[in-house]
Structure 1
Amino acid sequence: MLTLTADDIRLGCRAANWREALALAGEELEAAGRTTPEYLQGLLDREAQSSTVLGNGIAIPHGTPESREHVRSTGIRVLQFPDGVTWHDDARVHVLVTIAAQSDEHLDILRHLTRVLDKPGLAQQLAEATDRDTLLACLSRTPATPKCDRDTLLLKVPASDTRELALTAAARLQSLGCVEPPFIASLVAQSPQAVGRGLWLVHATDGVTQPALAVATPAKADSALDGVLCLAGQGEDTQPLLEQIDHLLTQPESIARLSADELLARLAGEQANAVTRQVRLLNAHGLHARPAKQLVQVARQQSLPLQLRLLEGDAQAVSATSLTRVIGLGARRGQTLVISAAGEGAQAAVDALAQAIESGLGEAVTPLRAHDERKATDTPTQPVEPLETDTPIKAVAASPGLAVAPAFVMRLPELTYAATANDPDNQCERLNRAIDEAFGQLEALIRQAEGGEAGPILAVHAEMLRDDDLHQAAFDIIREGASAEAGWWQAIDTAAKAQEALADRLLAERAADLRDVGRRVLANLCGVAMPTPPDEAYILVADDLGPSDVARLDTQRVRGLVTAKGGATAHSAILARALGLPAVVGVGERLLTLDSGTDVVVDGERGCIVPAPGAERRRRLNQRLEQLEQLQARAHEARHEPASTVDGHQVEVCANLGNTAHTPEAVERGADGVGLLRTEFIFMAHSEAPDLATQRAEYAKAFDALDGLPLVARTLDVGGDKPLDYWPLPEEDNPFLGLRGIRLSLTRPEILETQLRALLTEAGSRPLRIMFPMVKDLAEFRAAKALVDRLREEIDAPDVQVGVMIEIPSSALLAPTLAPEVDFFSIGTNDLTQYTLAIDRGHPQLSAESDGLHPAVLRLIQMTVQAAHEHGRWVGICGELGSDPQAIPVLLGLGVDEFSVTSRRVPLVKACIRNLALSDAKSLAQLALQQATASDVRDKLEGA
């Protein structure tokens, strides 16, 4: 967007007429190096087409599209005429904002100025300003634009009380960047207030970055609870939002029964009996000054006042007779204007304005293409650079393994469809058939996946298709004039956005499941089949993959997965690990520049891909693959042997488990025990906190299968990216630094106590090690340990080891103070890495840099091990770094006593350790600690 500085302003100008004023403006642009002399003719040609007077004493002269060749660089010059200049349309002008733009950037300035000019008396201030800074301040004031649009509506939320709806609405505002954590904290401390008609209001001013209004309606409404309004902001900036609330309070109908479009209409002040009409804007440059002036003139000719709003915008309707407000809508080509009026003759007035808009408002217009129909609001994208050949591209390691094969680039077919239809009954029937067809497809996939990890996920997809609320939302949109395709996708998109607002990254990735289901139905509606992979071996390359995409894979042919988007916690990544396929995700847009058939190396160990590997790299790769295949075979045969180095140093290799049902499988694969049981799976599988008997039954499965092998049980680790439905938490700006882990458990000691009691009781004399997550210092550990000690006395349980998970840098730095009181440390390298490097490991651009072999992380591990060993304590590794072949010797050399990895990796990790000498490992660890970056560490290790 163009920016304005004091150097762009010239005060006290004089001109005898408008042509002389324009000539002066042209000279200023030329002197500033913005234009050539020929640009002045462009300014004159634009005035010949239509006056550029914006109103309130301001004109915005700018050239025609043809004159852009005379623009050297984009810029602005502001000329003040204190005595005024009479323009050719008899308007009196005091300020010229003269624009030289190489594209349509002047439209942004224009929209900005229309908002600035809403303040009464501002034009006079501009004319009388005696210094540049005053005038600059007047023109540069960034008005607070209130937000109340489709994104701030949360319809049919599965909640039954006002506080839950209020927090859900507040969470949506935070996800949209309108508010910050202090706003949420203010709402937590207050109760919603009844404002009539079953509507409730919460309002806070702390932490507001943009005035906004969110509306949340319950799935089951009644006269006492029809919806909750969440208002953020204060002062004149919220006046439009207060007017929208007033509009709702005057409506006789229940807002909980309204569709999104109907609710937006009521917020805009449109009565249920108002005459409305939607019309697409066809003007190439949108609703800029010249067509806007034509629209206003047509509106003024009507016998009734007309209102205008953007269907794709907020819920604010403006008077169609106000030029500045019409321009301020910022309508672009392809967007939909909603015209409304009430009273006798309303239909004729609305039709007259609609006809004027359709005819182009004085400009030549062309019909929309199918592409414009669906992407009217998209912004142009920059060309994407292709991937370098024979060059490693770092990304996110989602599933370990190594593979090379030709790429099959799965480009989703373009689903072209009309946005509207005039036969709602037929459209609803089409949608019903497409849903039934999708349900049948999912049932077939579930049968194919029976007994595997994909089955339960696909069953959830099938359940989504049964959602009556989702069906009804689509049918409501269709009855408003949408096609079956447009109605269905709008319902899917709205529901997915609501889910994304309820929690953080993990649930955001689960919202992808809903869109996966939606695309399946949409493809059925469009009669489009998904692309078919080749018959020979291939690497699947895609923008993103849904669980159903992974479940359809023929594991006899697919060798690996690579996606442009996604994180290590997405369902597709989880399933790739379950299928044993190497996978790398989050490569970026450039991935899709690959051509199908191009050989691709997928290195799920190091989190990188290599497009079109050269002959030398291919030779090394084939050698590595042969070695890996032989190693896997030998490792499987020796899986039950201890992990002892060639010089006799022995460590334990245990399994990370997310479910007790997988314990027998871990033991069969040679695990020396369970090094990390993520107990939250029990809590996340129930609609309320599981009782003592339920938890004992689950833990018994693990103890029985281990048959005397040790079990490290991490206490409930929720919050952040793992919320619980029955333990609602306020939305946090950064939940990974918020209320989670042990700090959350200590706020509900009765839940933690039940879990500890179940573990201690069921363990009996069997080896149990209790581990507390997210401990930052000794005070937190003591608070949790005191609960264990009290329960041991109550139930006369034997002594157990109690330790902490080192995943916060503070706990590693304070390991010398923790070590005397804990029994063990287990280092969670995933979180320790992201907290140390300040990189979210799911970040699409930065996640590849979140490498646990970074020297800073290694030094924290070294400090932890040294402190533990000085007090006779053992240290484990339970993060992904523990199964990284390059990291294993470094960790061994740093003194780690136990490796806890996914059960599939247990045999290979054991085999890797058996091939090492402890003395060599110590040398590699010292070499790694001397490096400056993670890349340097890996380079040195590869060459060692």
Structure 2
Amino acid sequence: MNNNNEVTLGAPLSGPVLALAQVPDPVFASGTLGEGIAIDPIDNCLVAPCAGEIIHLAHTLHAVTLRADNGAELLMHLGLDTVQLQGQGFTAQVQPGMRVSPGQPLLTFDMDQVAHRCTSLISLIVVTNGEHFCAERLAASHVNAGEPLLRIAARHGHAPRSVQVGEAVQGVAFVAHAGGLHARPAARLREIAKGFDCTAQLSYHGHLADIDSLMSVMALGVDEHAQVQVICRGPQREAALAALLQGLSTPIAGEQPIPVAVASTLSPLPALAAGLLAGICAAPGLASGPLVRLGSITLPADPGGHAPGEQQQALATALAAVTRSLEHTRAKARQRHDSTEEAIFAAHLALLHDPALNQAAEAAITKGSAASHAWSNAIDAQCQLLLDTGKPLLAERTNDLRDLGQQVVRELLGDCGRMPLPRGAIVVAREITPSDLLYLNSQGAAGLCMAAGGATSHVAILARAKALPCLVAMGEALLEQTLDGAVVLDADNGRLELTPDSHRLQQVSDQLAAHHARHQAQQAQAHAPAHTLDGTTIEVAANVAGAQDAALAHQAGADGVGLLRTEFLFADRHVAPDEEQQLAAYQAVLDAMGDNPVIIRTLDVGGDKQLDYLPLPPEANPALGLRGIRMARANPALFDQQLRALLRTRQPHRCRLLLPMVTEVDELLQIRQRLTELAGELGIDSPPQVGVMIEVPAAALLSAQLAEHADFLSIGTNDLSQYTLAMDRDHAGLAARVDALHPAVLALIAQACDGARQHGRWVGVCGALASDPLATPVLIGLGVRELSVSPPQVGEIKARVRSLDLAQCQRLARELLTLPGAGAVRRACEQYWPSAH
């Protein structure tokens, strides 16, 4: 029988029939790859179970995938662990793209040779797009080839879309994501694909993965810089293909490689002296305190026989609760404009609802398992799938999966709380999950030590963001330590001191106290102006992304806002904010800063910073494409709306406009003219000051001409560095070399300051270099008179300014321009101005 939604499959082999749960392989047995059945073959020819199209043939010839006429995709896998045979003993009778009839030979194999070299001859037929189909077993304990085996029917409400079959478009891309296609980039691809009416697949080394399954994509083991093929079918296939190719070739904003070793096993590092354990530094710092072990939930034995309906409802309720918790965490990160933390928990949300994971749990529940065990086993199987790729970065992502496992199980068991934690504790665990870390940080943990884990894991990223010293990959010996007495965690030097004497503990205490006292002293003077030793005033402002940041900056003593990124108001929306919404947001920032000035950068999107409601064509090199002021001029209605909102703020004299990505004087003049016209329409006599960002070499070289018509210049050292050095700051192999203290970048900063001085204009720096105390004397010496830093660093940078002699800074800064590279500049700075440490 065969109709649009249902097809009866004949047995592709003869032999005893087994349920998937009986297969001696955890990935297949758990249903991770989908519903299906197994046969222990007694013949050597795999035949087509129904009519359809061959859509994939493994390059090792041990597996073939057939798409039935109703859209079901059927994976037939000969034997277990047969991929390691590399095709020896197998012969293909078909090729991808061929149309086959029921009973037509697909693969033949040498039973003796294969049986001798693989784990088992047990072979499987699995529905890999099981979110659309369910499988009903028809065969008893034994079947002959061609006899009814399974009935495949469309799930109610989930009939496959017409795009499952039909003409396809395809293209290739090189993966630009640091570490390859792990959780976050895989989640990003899935989100891109969901926006189009089509189905999308990824092909890599002969293996196919549906892009809507993170597990399938990650299991491909795609490396950074690898070439992959994207295949799209459906009404919007061309648009989807272009968007997915762009997503693959564009790094996620803020994606940074970590220049430290990666480890994800429990293999110990080389032994140190007695009383010391070695580890890899995932987050720097020094701490002391009692060791506290963080335990995980252990499930009791599952007797089975549970009512599937009840367990399915329990799992759905738990998943909904964890979803709400993750969405709340992500929303809080978005409010703080912490894009790194937001991306991590967005990836967790995507993993939580991954079809492969949920199908595996549902399949186990249907067989009578408790929801807690079904979910835990599905998590374990998916973790094993990632570990089997042999990719260290993907192995680290198993920590994210186990985190989700623990959270859901806590909900299922009614145990949502965690162990109490003494403040100042050094927490020890096999692995610490991202949600655990947020809890530990809220409880005042002083440091983290993990037996496993890696320095590029999500929890390591969070530890650095929270300034929690953290060591990973410390080995099993860590878990064997007794929990008595204080220890010292010296993450900077990669060691845990298990038996520090009183002198060492006092030394650490003194160091931490000195650091705290220095910070307190800096904060006590943070609201006072920052004058150099000879009396020159340097304004220390703050970079902010909204009113909450601005309030924190004002409390921290900032002299103003040196950069308000207005993108925060335009991102994560389906429509642009209207004029009134923008006015309210800008006014809130101005109000939060008291009487201090606020520099507001006009919308800086385009390139790799896309907006849903402002579709831009894919670009081969987004950093050199339609972005910043170029994008604004291409969308005049949107830009006018922003200018009107800025003009209508109260006390407009405190509001200064900053134009991004300017490369020539005409761009500035046209914007000034439009601003004057809009001000006239609104009855405003004195429009706000207008500044130009110096972030491309052309602007630095034209600084004198720009300063003639601009009120001030502000240097964006991040972009200026990558454009000057021709190195993408998101490139995994080059990001560490994109150093704004390179003499070439400093020469452009000097030229910008010299050009501004000709017209009596002041120059600020709002890039990351302004927040580096080592660079403070260099920037001041070159002529910078405003530094815009992250709010917590205002006091530190002001204190740094007060220690400097301007004449010495001017003399030595010019000498630095003659040095051969950034490393030489940094060494010279450390010699000339050692107080940076």
Query: Larger relative CO (CA 8 A, sep 6+): 1 or 2?
Result: 2
Aligned residue pairs total 617
Contact 1:266 1:272 in 2 (8 A): no
1:704 to 582, 585, 591: 591
Which residue pairs with 1:921 in the alignment?
809
Contact 1:771 1:804 in 2 (8 A): yes
Q: Counterparts of 1:121-520 in structure 2 under 5 Å? A: 268-272=66-70, 281-283=79-81, 286-292=84-90, 305-306=102-103, 319-321=106-108, 338=125, 348-350=143-145, 386=269, 403-405=286-288, 428-429=312-313, 431-432=315-316, 434-435=318-319, 438=322, 470=353, 484-485=374-375, 518-520=404-406
Contact 2:282 2:455 in 1 (8 A): no
State the SS of the aligned residue for 1:672.
Answer: coil
Which residue pairs with 2:467 in the alignment?
582
Contact 2:291 2:425 in 1 (8 A): no
Q: 1:744, CA displacement in angstroms? A: 1.9
Which residue pairs with 1:825 in the alignment?
713
2:776 to 875, 885, 888: 888
For residue 125 of structure 2, what is the amino acid of its counterpart? Answer: V
For residue 643 of structure 1, what is the amino acid of its counterpart? Answer: A
In structure 2, how many angstroms separate the alpha carbons of the residues matched to 1:713 and 1:788?
A: 14
Q: 1:861, CA displacement in angstroms? A: 1.8
For residue 689 of structure 1, what is the amino acid of its counterpart? Answer: A
For residue 717 of structure 1, what is the amino acid of its counterpart? Answer: D
For residue 269 of structure 1, what is the amino acid of its counterpart? Answer: R
Which residue pairs with 1:942 in the alignment?
830
2:786 to 898, 901, 904: 898
Q: 1:674, CA displacement in angstroms? A: 0.9
For residues 226-278 of structure 1, give each alpha carbon's deviation from its aligned partner in whole angstroms, at most 9, with x where no partner exists. Answer: xxxxxxxxxxxxxxxxx999999xxxxxxxxxxxxxxxx99933244999686
In structure 2, how many angstroms separate the alpha carbons of the residues matched to 1:611 and 1:684?
A: 42
1:754 to 630, 641, 647: 641
Q: 1:721, CA displacement in angstroms? A: 4.6
Contact 1:286 1:332 in 2 (8 A): no
Which residue pairs with 1:239 in the alignment?
none
Structure of higher CA gyration radius: 1
Q: Counterparts of 1:77-88 in structure 2 under 5 Å? A: none
Contact 2:765 2:787 in 1 (8 A): yes
Q: Give the TM-score of the pair, scaled to structure 1.
A: 0.52
For residues 514-541 of structure 1, give each alpha carbon's deviation from its aligned partner in whole angstroms, at most 9, with x where no partner exists. Answer: 9697455566599899999886443899
Assess, with a 3 A threshold, how the Cα gap between structure 1 residues 573 and 799 changes in structure 2: closer, same or farther: farther
TM-align CA RMSD: 6.3
Assess, with a 3 A threshold, how the Cα gap between structure 1 residues 462 and 729 changes in structure 2: closer, same or farther: same
Among all aligned residue pairs of Structure 1 and Structure 2, give the percentage whose two residues are the same amino acid: 29
In structure 1, how many angstroms separate the alpha carbons of the residues matched to 2:670 and 2:753?
A: 24
Q: 1:649, CA displacement in angstroms? A: 0.9
For residues 658-709 of structure 1, give each alpha carbon's deviation from its aligned partner in whole angstroms, at most 9, with x where no partner exists. Answer: 1123333322322111111111112225431111111111112222333432
Q: 1:868, CA displacement in angstroms? A: 1.6
Contact 2:437 2:463 in 1 (8 A): no
Assess, with a 3 A threshold, how the Cα gap between structure 1 residues 514 and 452 changes in structure 2: closer, same or farther: same
Matched, 1:912 2:800: yes
Which residue pairs with 1:694 in the alignment?
581
State the SS of the aligned residue for 2:681.
Answer: helix
Q: Give the TM-score of the pair, scaled to structure 2.
A: 0.58
Assess, with a 3 A threshold, how the Cα gap between structure 1 residues 246 and 764 changes in structure 2: closer, same or farther: farther
In structure 2, how many angstroms separate the alpha carbons of the residues matched to 1:332 and 1:842?
A: 43
Contact 1:639 1:906 in 2 (8 A): yes
Assess, with a 3 A threshold, how the Cα gap between structure 1 residues 700 and 647 changes in structure 2: closer, same or farther: same
For residue 852 of structure 1, what is the amino acid of its counterpart? Answer: A
Assess, with a 3 A threshold, how the Cα gap between structure 1 residues 575 and 394 changes in structure 2: closer, same or farther: closer
Q: 1:485, CA displacement in angstroms? A: 3.4
Range that drifts further, 749-758 or 471-480: 471-480
In structure 1, how many angstroms separate the alpha carbons of the residues matched to 2:298 and 2:659?
A: 49
In structure 1, how many angstroms separate the alpha carbons of the residues matched to 2:474 and 2:732?
A: 13
Q: Counterparts of 1:409-808 in structure 2 under 5 Å? A: 428-429=312-313, 431-432=315-316, 434-435=318-319, 438=322, 470=353, 484-485=374-375, 518-521=404-407, 524=410, 536-538=424-426, 546=434, 549-554=437-442, 556-558=444-446, 564=454, 581-582=466-467, 599-601=488-490, 611=495, 625-684=512-571, 686-797=573-684, 798-808=686-696
State the SS of the aligned residue for 2:67.
Answer: coil
Which residue pairs with 2:18 in the alignment?
none
State the SS of the aligned residue for 1:725.
Answer: coil
Which residue pairs with 1:854 in the alignment?
742
In structure 1, how many angstroms separate the alpha carbons of the residues matched to 2:351 and 2:807?
A: 65
In structure 2, how many angstroms separate the alpha carbons of the residues matched to 1:724 and 1:557?
A: 39
In structure 2, how many angstroms separate the alpha carbons of the residues matched to 1:938 and 1:543?
A: 36
Contact 1:653 1:901 in 2 (8 A): yes
Structure 2 unaligned blocks of 5 or more: 1-31, 34-50, 57-62, 95-99, 128-134, 150-215, 224-262, 367-373, 387-393, 482-486, 833-837
In structure 1, how many angstroms separate the alpha carbons of the residues matched to 2:82 and 2:741?
A: 53
Contact 1:680 1:717 in 2 (8 A): yes
Contact 2:64 2:76 in 1 (8 A): no
Structure with a larger share of its residues in helix? 1
State the SS of the aligned residue for 1:709.
Answer: coil
Assess, with a 3 A threshold, how the Cα gap between structure 1 residues 721 and 412 changes in structure 2: closer, same or farther: farther
For residue 934 of structure 1, what is the amino acid of its counterpart? Answer: A
Assess, with a 3 A threshold, how the Cα gap between structure 1 residues 918 and 553 changes in structure 2: closer, same or farther: same
For residue 645 of structure 2, what is the amino acid of its counterpart? Answer: A
For residues 31-60 of structure 1, give each alpha carbon's deviation from its aligned partner in whole angstroms, at most 9, with x where no partner exists. Answer: xxxxxxxxxxxxxxxxxxxxxxxxxxxxxx
In structure 2, how many angstroms separate the alpha carbons of the residues matched to 1:796 and 1:470?
A: 54
Contact 1:640 1:671 in 2 (8 A): yes
State the SS of the aligned residue for 1:656.
Answer: strand
In structure 2, how many angstroms separate the alpha carbons of the residues matched to 1:774 and 1:830?
A: 12
In structure 2, how many angstroms separate the alpha carbons of the residues matched to 1:246 and 1:867?
A: 67
Contact 2:647 2:687 in 1 (8 A): no
Contact 1:931 1:937 in 2 (8 A): yes
Assess, with a 3 A threshold, how the Cα gap between structure 1 residues 736 and 749 changes in structure 2: closer, same or farther: same
Range that drifts further, 857-866 or 464-473: 464-473
State the SS of the aligned residue for 2:584.
Answer: helix
Contact 1:853 1:934 in 2 (8 A): yes
Assess, with a 3 A threshold, how the Cα gap between structure 1 residues 453 and 791 changes in structure 2: closer, same or farther: closer
For residues 600-624 of structure 1, give each alpha carbon's deviation from its aligned partner in whole angstroms, at most 9, with x where no partner exists. Answer: 546xxxxx76546999999998776
Assess, with a 3 A threshold, how the Cα gap between structure 1 residues 784 and 445 changes in structure 2: closer, same or farther: closer
Assess, with a 3 A threshold, how the Cα gap between structure 1 residues 582 and 246 changes in structure 2: closer, same or farther: closer
In structure 1, how many angstroms separate the alpha carbons of the residues matched to 2:666 and 2:122?
A: 58
Assess, with a 3 A threshold, how the Cα gap between structure 1 residues 751 and 410 changes in structure 2: closer, same or farther: farther
Contact 1:773 1:804 in 2 (8 A): yes
For residue 882 of structure 1, what is the amino acid of its counterpart? Answer: A
Contact 1:652 1:899 in 2 (8 A): yes
Assess, with a 3 A threshold, how the Cα gap between structure 1 residues 731 and 801 changes in structure 2: closer, same or farther: same
State the SS of the aligned residue for 1:906.
Answer: helix
State the SS of the aligned residue for 1:916.
Answer: coil
Contact 1:454 1:547 in 2 (8 A): no
